[in-house]
Structure 1
Amino acid sequence: MRTEPDAILGGRLILRQPPRGAHRAGSDAVLLARLLIPAPGATLYDLGAATGAVGLVSARLSEVGRVVLVERDPDLAALARENASANGLDDRVAVIEADLLVSGTQRRAAGLQPDSADIVLTNPPFFEEGAHRPSPIPQKAAAHTFAAGGLDLWLRTCSDLLRPGGRLGMIHRADALPACLDALRGRFGDCAVRPVHGRAERPAIRVLIAAVKGSRAPLRLLPPLVLQDEAGRFTPEAEALHRGDPWPPP
């Protein structure tokens, strides 16, 4: 089914997505896309890109040299290509259909070369098989679930694709922070963790994690982001990020 494209960043980017009920990009994608600002000419990978929201936001708002959207689902990869073209970003954006959990040999055959990215942004599946009730919609279930040990393999691939000193940006469930830190250990350091709260009085629902490949610098816990005020409106900080403004200094 064809759907009308969504306008994000105040209309600066249009995004065709699957029908409602399937996995669709929203605030998670915008927050992740603004987490790390690439240097002019840098190469950025969006891993598990779906329709390309994270990488395309970065391409629209920065002087990144090349964006690679990596997605295993052929239908989503086709939408990502369509979105890159519709936004006039074909010259800087490539789409690779690949499974991030296969062997290094298979990844290279698909076009994913080690030490080739300056920045990797990723929104990995949030659950392991058996740890939650999957969606009855196959595409949504696949986007949210992978096999046991999948997070460690996913972050191993992120590390493989990054150059030494390259930067990783990731968003995940808040309660998955211990598992994320375990999977990052030995591969990344200088981890900066920012909790994201739906409202100020509620527990965090997400964590944004930035880390540097090969660094030994200690972990930093940054001030939280609160998305909504008591009336359910975006807070000024959240509103600015959804317009495409950068994060304020910590």
Structure 2
Amino acid sequence: MAEITEDLLLNGRVRLLQPQKGHRAGTDAVLLAVSAEARPGDMVMDVGAATGAVGLMVAARQDAARFVFVERDPHLAELCRRNCRDNRVAGEVAVADVLDRTSREAAGLRLGSADLVLTNPPFLEEGHARISPDRGRAAAHALPTGGLDAWLKICTGLLKPKGRLVLIHRADRTLECLRILGKWLGGLELRFVHPSADRPAIRLLLSGIKDSRAPVSILPPVILNGPDGRFTPQAEALHRGEAILL
């Protein structure tokens, strides 16, 4: 069995068990979580949840929402259940491949049921990038050819009318994300994440509202590191849970 570490997120407000090797929660998970606002009573789905970092960080701000963590790897899903218990989050863990209708239905995932969907889709697609030989990393980072379109279609399908989708992806896939999501979402808000002020963006934070006709907005960027290579005050505050991006 793979070795497990216990890590602290948001300055200790969230305790996270996760594999020592393979895909691990980090800055991407933090940025996604601090870009999403749940209201009391909301049904929140963390799609591709792994060990639950994103949903748990949102729950640390709003524990009166209902949480469903969707993860296809049964070992990660079990760690997610443990993390929910350890953080006293009454979350449901659905073991399902969101790209497979039979798997989704067997796990009880219903279209049109979520007020808020959070997702950090695998960034790569088979045949278009070099895939890690580590099975855990490969599963977390790679989709089948055309998989991003299918993934985002399902995420929007899970939303109720006027529900909100929030995702993080590579900045170089911005046009593709807009092409896909523009079919179903309006009020799109884009925020770019730069490793430093003088370097191109590496991540896109994007949110939108199902069936909305509101225009696109470009929000202020996030700069992760200063000239000294250390977190900027904003990035430090986000990681410590002292600030949000809304």
Equivalent pairs counted in the alignment come to 245
Unaligned runs of 5+ in 2: none
Residue 244 of structure 1: which of 237, 241, 246 is its match? 241
Look up the match of 1:58.
58
Paired residues of 1:44 and 1:64 also in contact (CA < 8 A): no
Q: Which moved more, 1:217-226 or 1:61-70?
A: 61-70
Q: Give a deviation string over 1:202-228, Cα, whole Å, max 9, x none.
A: 100000001101111111111110011
Paired residues of 1:41 and 1:63 also in contact (CA < 8 A): no
1:106 deviates by 4.3
Q: After TM superposition, where is structure 1 displaced by more than 4 Å over at least 4 residues in a row?
A: none
Look up the match of 2:115.
118
TM value normalised by structure 1 = 0.94
CA–CA distance in structure 2, aligned partners of residues 95 and 248 of structure 1: 26
Q: CA RMSD in A?
A: 1.3
* Within-5 A mapping of 1:162-201: 162-201=159-198
Paired residues of 1:39 and 1:63 also in contact (CA < 8 A): no
1:116 deviates by 1.0
Look up the match of 1:150.
147
Task: Give the match's secondary structure for 1:11.
Answer: coil
Look up the match of 2:208.
211
Unaligned runs of 5+ in 1: none
Paired residues of 2:5 and 2:20 also in contact (CA < 8 A): no
CA–CA distance in structure 1, aligned partners of residues 60 and 245 of structure 2: 19
Q: Which moved more, 1:33-42 or 1:172-181?
A: 33-42
Query: Sequence identity of aligned pairs in percent?
Result: 51
Q: Does the C-alpha gap of structure 1 residues 175 and 64 become closer, same or farther in structure 2, counting only changes over 3 Å?
A: farther
CA–CA distance in structure 1, aligned partners of residues 54 and 112 of structure 2: 21
1:188 deviates by 0.6
1:63 deviates by 3.6
Look up the match of 1:17.
18
* Within-5 A mapping of 1:119-138: 119-138=116-135
Task: Give the match's secondary structure for 2:19.
Answer: coil
Look up the match of 2:73.
73
1:4 deviates by 2.9
Task: Give the match's secondary structure for 1:204.
Answer: coil
Paired residues of 2:35 and 2:245 also in contact (CA < 8 A): no
CA–CA distance in structure 2, aligned partners of residues 17 and 136 of structure 1: 19
Q: Which moved more, 1:50-59 or 1:228-237?
A: 228-237
TM value normalised by structure 2 = 0.96
Q: Does residue 1:232 correspond to 2:234, yes or no?
A: no
Specify the code of the residue in structure 2 equivalent to 1:43. Answer: M
Paired residues of 1:61 and 1:244 also in contact (CA < 8 A): no
